[in-house]
Structure 1
Amino acid sequence: MSDIPWDDLWPQIVIAMSTLLAAFLGFLFAGVNDARRDRRLAGRERATRDEERRAAALRARHEFQLATLLELQDAIQLMARLTGRAMHFDHMQARKGQYTQLPGGHSEDMHANGVDVIRLRNRLLDADLRADIQRFESASVDATLSPQTFEGLEGDALESAALARINTFGDEVSRIMDRLGTSLRAELEWRPSEAD
């Protein structure tokens, strides 16, 4: 052992230790980099899942609104028909000088339809459309709960009052159906965007 000079051995020890230290540091930094890469990958995967859930929820919301609008359109059309039938009944009764209540089945149909319209209206996200539907409901109620507007009228005056009532309500029907059509088209044309 004493034959090996320290001067020759020392550089080999330094090289061996440097190699060992470099290997250890390389292993350590590789582990740190792997952990960082794994965290970044997990973060991207989490962000992708969150985005997919958000997009699915947005699509479901639009599908729900579209289904609600389609169902509401049918319910509003039925409300218009039932109101028109009630107005015609009142007009025919007024011609006879009678002011009676609607036949039982018709009142029940109107009530059930009114409940459906309220239920569907409450599902709408658009506050302005909800207010427009509510105004239409009020116009329908006004048109059917006031047969006494014909009281004391006869002949041409009665016919004019009935026609005015029909025209006023017809304008409300046209207005609300146009408004519903606009909302339906907007839902049908909807496409997810970056802003959504």
Structure 2
Amino acid sequence: MDNLIPLLSTAVGALAAVGGTFLTGAHERRRDALSAQRERDARQQDDSREREARRRDFQLRTLLELQDGVQRLGRLTSMVLQFDLRQAREGQYTLIPDDLSDELQTRGIEVNRLCTRVLDHDVRRAVEGAKDRLAKLGVAVMRYRQMGPGSELEAAWAGDMNSLGDVMDGAMELMGVAIRHELESGAVPPS
């Protein structure tokens, strides 16, 4: 029996060492799994932040291009109105020059394309409304034809130019608000 106590001590020590090793291994596996999960979560958060930053940058670029496109469309509409006024003053009613017509069509398509990329529903609706109003102003020659040269024609043209300014001011203001929102949210302006 005296020999049994050292043998039991050795066995208990060996079992304790094996149990400790097992527990340590289990603890390390759990710690490694938690660490790996934290790393995956951190990568997902980083990816999510990066996707959001890219989305905001894309929206900002799109809004800036859309603002430029609407501005060009407004300038072209102004050129059409001026052409129509000159024609009406002379009693001539011809089609606008092909290059102006082509440019109007190209810019209209560009504005439509950019508008479909905008996430803000209010901006899309405002740009579509402005584009419709610009198109209606662009066919003012029909009204001018009924007036003939004189003060009525000049007043109608001045009213159309004021309407053009109002359309442009409203669209530019709403796009400006959206652009400032993207900038405040951390979007990086294109260089």
Q: TM-score, normalised by structure 2?
A: 0.93
- Aligned-pair identity (%): 33
The one of the two structures with greater contact order (alpha-carbon pairs below 8 A, sep at least 6) is 2
Q: Does the residue aligned with 1:151 lie in a helix, a strand or coil?
A: helix
Amino acid at match of 1:178: E
Give the counterpart of 1:100 among 90, 94, 97: 94
Partner of 2:58: 64
Quick check: 1:14 aligned with 2:14? no
5+ unaligned residues in a row in structure 1: which ranges? 1-5
Distance in 2, matches of 1:147 and 1:33, equals: 84
Match of 1:187 among 173, 176, 182: 182
- CA shift at 1:180, angstroms? 1.2
Paired residue for 1:142? 136
User: Are 2:59 and 2:182, in contact at CA under 8 Å, matched by a contact in 1?
Assistant: yes
Q: Which of residues 103, 109, 112 in structure 1 aligns to 2:106?
A: 112
Q: Which runs of 4+ in 1 moved over 2 A?
A: none
Q: Indicate which of 64, 74, 83 corresponds to 2:77.
A: 83
SS at match of 1:152: helix
Structure 1 residue 17: deviation in Å?
1.2
**Distance in 2 separating the partners of 1:131 and 1:44:** 43
What is the TM-score of this pair, normalised by structure 1? 0.91
1:157 maps to which residue?
Answer: 152
- Structure 1 or 2, whichever has the larger Rg, is 1
Q: Is 1:45 matched up with 2:39?
A: yes
In structure 2, stretches of 5+ residues that fail to align are none
Alignment coverage as a number of residue pairs: 186
